Structures are given as structure tokens and as C-alpha cells.
């Protein structure tokens, strides 16, 4: 299914238009979006394709992300294997008033989707398998990047051999600890939260599995996302020490505590995955671009997982940048110039900042027991329940449909 990894024999003359560093979902989405662009692409990933396809962590995918993948041409391969939800329930601890979002509030069959990493990355790998303009280097390691006025030179190690790649543009899609961002000297702003998330999968006995729950507690939000087979992916946020303690609880005690926080809405629960703990941070780069360089996904920004926004932001980055690069290439412009790349930064940086602020506000507003704040947020929930324009505005923000849409998604408007 995968293209053969590059061998020493064909690795001596690698010059290209675009080097993407990072073969996760966001970097591979960019390559897929540029499949028919005419640009020659090299995609560098530190792990083999087989290893990247083994990860089973699940993510929320917004309707806009689904439309982007439909525009690329892989959504039909993904859709049968993922969770879908027609309802979203938003609640504040044990407060009786809940905000319920329904499909009637937003055109389309679903309000969102939940897909495991391996399903999405395998579909992307399959789509690119026979693409002549995309070359994979994996496993491979970027050693250094140097840039002059007309070209960037990427020093990369593959099979213990170091080679140089000449390219018009380097894309950093290599995550929150981006080596490419560090090499470029791009500074970041933000902070680490006082919280960590415990992520895991459960099976349950509820008769319906078509609702996503966002349950806010003073300790932090809990997201419950439906997967196929009466399973749910749960991301449970707590202060660092509490999160570590939850991960170490024996299974019966853990499930008993979980049942209390879920409120019994899913029936009997069974833990079907390991509990993974990761700290939470907010980060935004001072700049997304430099001459011959652009950052996308977590390399450019990170947000609190409340609302499941992080990966969707990266998918929109990839689709937006692909649109700009393809248009510049068709107009015979140099895709690595600041003039071209500034169009991407101007498009995405402000929109991402709005989402960062929104998720930060949600976490701080609800992870709080101060009475005046509790009164204000519960008034907000009441207003959202009864004021349809406010509810639809919040839903469009959460689903990515408020901002400028990439052309890839426009032909799949529902």
C-alpha cells in the first residue's frame, strides 16, 4: 500500500519545490492537497510509515475538516470507519441547565466526527502511494537547514548517510517541539496550564452513541467523543497531580470515579485502552513564516484540548497553505518568497489566535469555583440554550465554519 522508502541509489539527486518536515496528519494532508499541483514534494518523517500508521489516538474532526478531506478525495475512505455525532451536550458540573446543539442548528447530517489516527493517516498514505510528485524519506532526520535568497538547503540523514536537498520552500509540520521552528529561530508566546489530560477509550452500554459531551468541572473539562462499536474516546482534564493519580488508579476504582463524572448517561463502562497522560499548553508563534519557510499545525500553535480544536486548526492550515502555494505556482511566482507566504500568515494567524483565545477563556471560565464566575457562566449557558442566534454562533465557531474557508472545502458545502 505504501510507496517504497527512498533508497541510497535514488537519494543522490533530490532537488524539489517543497520539503515538508513531519509526516503526521497535518504534514501529510498538505502533501495530499498538493498532489495535482505540479509541485515536486519531498516529505520527511522521523518514523517509518508503518509506525506512524499504528497510532490509535482518536481526534474530533469538524464538518469543515470533513469537507477539506472530501475536496482532496479521501473522505469516502474514512467515513465508514469513524464515529459520527448529531448532538452535542454542553454542561457545567451538576448544574441542571444543559446546552444542546442539534443538526437542525447547522446544515448537514452531522455536527462532527471522531476518527482514530491510524484510520486517517492510512487513507492519506493510500492516496499518495502512487503519486509521482511526492517522495517519502522515512525514517529520516533533518540535521540542519540553511537559506539564501533563492533556495533552502536541507541536510538530512537517511540510512546513516547524510545528503543535501535543495528546495524553494521548507514546511515545518513537526509538532509542538518543532526542530524546524527552532532552527529558524522563531520565538513563541504562551504558557503551560496547571492541568494535564488523561486520554483513554471506553466501551459502554448506552443504546445511542451519537452524542458528543463536553462536561465542565472545576478541576477541568471532560470531552466524551463517540467512536464506532459503542466506544467513546475520553479526554479528562485535571490538575497535574490529580491526572497522574487517575492514571494510576486500579481499573475498578477509576471506572467508578469516571461514572460519577459522566453522570451515568452511558450505562455500564469498560476500559478498553491504556490511560495516557499529557500536559496542556497554549502556544502561538510570533510569526508563521520567514523567507523559504512556513509553519503549520502544532509547530505554529497549540491550544487547550477543550472543544477538540487543535488538529482541526492544523488541517485548515494545510488546506489554506496548499491553496496559496498552488495559486502562486500557477502564476509562476516563487513559492518561497515572503510576499507569497505572507498571504498564508495573514489568513491563518488571526483565525488561530481567535480559537486560542476561545479555548483559553472556556477553560478558565469553567475550571473555577469562584461564585461570581459560576453565576456568570451559568447565565451564559442559560442564554445559549434559549437564544438561537447565540447558540448557532458558538456552534459555527466550534465547527470551523465562521472563518474563511479553503477552496477545497467549498465544493462540499452542505
Domains of the chain: 8-189+281-410 (3.50.50.60)
Cα–Cα distance measured from residue 72 to residue 201, given in angstroms and rounded to the nearest whole number: 29
Q: Which residues pair with 44 in a beta bridge?
A: 21, 137
What's the average model confidence in pLDDT over 3-18?
56
Task: Categorize the per-residue pLDDT at 88 as very low, low, confident or very high, splitting at 50, 70 and 90.
Answer: very high
Task: Categorize the per-residue pLDDT at 104 as very low, low, confident or very high, splitting at 50, 70 and 90.
Answer: confident
359-406 pLDDT, tens digit per residue, is 999 899 898 888 898 898 899 888 988 898 998 988 888 888 888 999
Cα–Cα distance measured from residue 2 to residue 130, given in angstroms and rounded to the nearest whole number: 8
Q: What is the pLDDT of residue 237?
A: 96
Q: What is the pLDDT of residue 7?
A: 38
DSSP per-residue codes, 12-38: SS-EEEEEEE--SHHHHHHHHHTTTSS
Task: Categorize the per-residue pLDDT at 94 as very low, low, confident or very high, splitting at 50, 70 and 90.
Answer: confident
Q: What is the pLDDT of residue 411?
A: 64
Contact 55, 201 (CB under 8 A): no
166-186 pLDDT, tens digit per residue, is 999 999 999 999 999 999 999
249-287 pLDDT, tens digit per residue, is 999 999 999 999 998 899 999 999 999 999 999 999 999
What's the average model confidence in pLDDT over 114-124?
97
Amino acid at each position: 500500500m505504501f510507496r517504497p522508502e527512498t533508497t541510497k541509489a535514488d537519494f543522490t539527486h533530490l532537488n524539489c519545490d517543497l520539503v515538508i518536515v513531519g509526516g503526521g496528519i497535518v504534514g501529510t494532508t498538505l502533501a495530499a492537497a498538493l498532489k495535482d499541483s505540479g509541485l515536486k514534494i519531498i516529505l520527511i518523517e522521523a518514523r517509518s510509515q508503518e509506525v506512524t500508521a499504528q497510532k490509535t489516538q482518536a481526534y474530533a474532526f469538524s464538518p469543515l475538516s470533513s469537507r477539506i478531506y472530501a475536496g482532496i478525495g479521501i473522505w469516502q475512505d474514512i467515513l465508514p470507519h469513524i464515529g459520527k455525532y448529531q448532538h452535542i451536550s454542553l454542561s457545567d458540573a451538576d448544574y441542571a441547565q444543559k446546552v444542546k446543539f442539534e443538526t437542525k442548528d447547522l446544515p448537514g447530517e452531522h455536527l462532527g466526527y471522531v476518527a482514530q489516527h491510524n484510520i486517517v493517516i492510512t487513507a492519506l498514505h493510500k492516496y499518495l502511494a502512487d503519486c509521482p510528485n511526492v517522495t517519502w524519506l522515512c525514517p529520516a532526520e533533518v540535521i540542519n537547514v540553511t537559506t539564501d535568497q533563492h533556495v533552502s538547503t536541507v541536510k538530512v540523514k537517511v540510512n546513516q548517510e547524510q545528503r543535501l536537498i535543495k528546495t524553494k520552500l521548507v514546511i515545518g509540520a513537526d509538532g509542538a517541539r518543532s526542530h524546524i521552528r527552532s532552527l529558524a529561530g522563531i520565538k513563541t508566546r504562551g504558557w503551560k496550564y496547571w492541568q494535564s489530560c488523561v486520554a483513554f477509550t471506553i466501551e459502554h452500554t448506552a443504546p445511542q452513541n451519537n452524542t458528543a459531551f463536553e462536561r465542565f468541572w472545576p478541576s477541568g473539562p471532560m470531552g466524551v467523543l463517540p467512536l464506532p462499536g459503542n466506544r467513546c474516546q475520553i479526554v479528562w482534564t485535571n490538575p497535574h497531580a490529580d491526572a497522574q493519580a487517575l492514571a494510576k488508579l486500579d481499573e475498578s476504582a477509576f471506572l467508578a470515579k469516571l461514572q460519577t463524572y459522566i453522570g451515568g448517561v452511558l450505562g455500564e463502562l469498560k476500559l478498553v485502552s491504556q490511560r495516557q497522560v499529557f500536559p496542556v499548553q497554549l502556544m502561538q508563534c510570533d510569526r508563521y513564516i520567514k523567507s523559504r519557510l512556513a509553519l503549520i499545525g502544532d509547530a505554529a500553535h497549540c491550544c487547550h484540548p477543550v472543544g477538540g480544536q487543535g488538529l482541526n486548526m492544523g488541517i485548515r492550515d494545510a488546506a489554506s497553505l496548499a491553496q496559496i502555494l498552488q495559486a502562486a505556482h500557477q502564476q509562476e511566482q516563487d513559492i518561497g518568497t515572503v510576499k507569497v507566504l505572507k498571504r498564508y500568515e495573514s489568513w491563518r494567524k488571526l483565525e488561530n489566535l481567535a480559537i486560542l483565545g476561545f479555548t483559553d477563556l472556556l477553560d478558565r471560565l469553567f475550571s473555577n469555583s469562584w461564585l461570581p464566575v459560576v453565576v456568570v457562566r451559568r447565565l451564559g449557558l442559560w442564554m445559549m440554550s434559549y437564544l438561537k442566534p447565540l447558540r448557532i454562533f458558538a456552534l459555527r465557531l466550534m465547527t470551523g465554519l465562521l472563518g474563511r474557508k479553503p477552496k477545497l472545502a467549498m465544493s462540499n458545502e452542505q
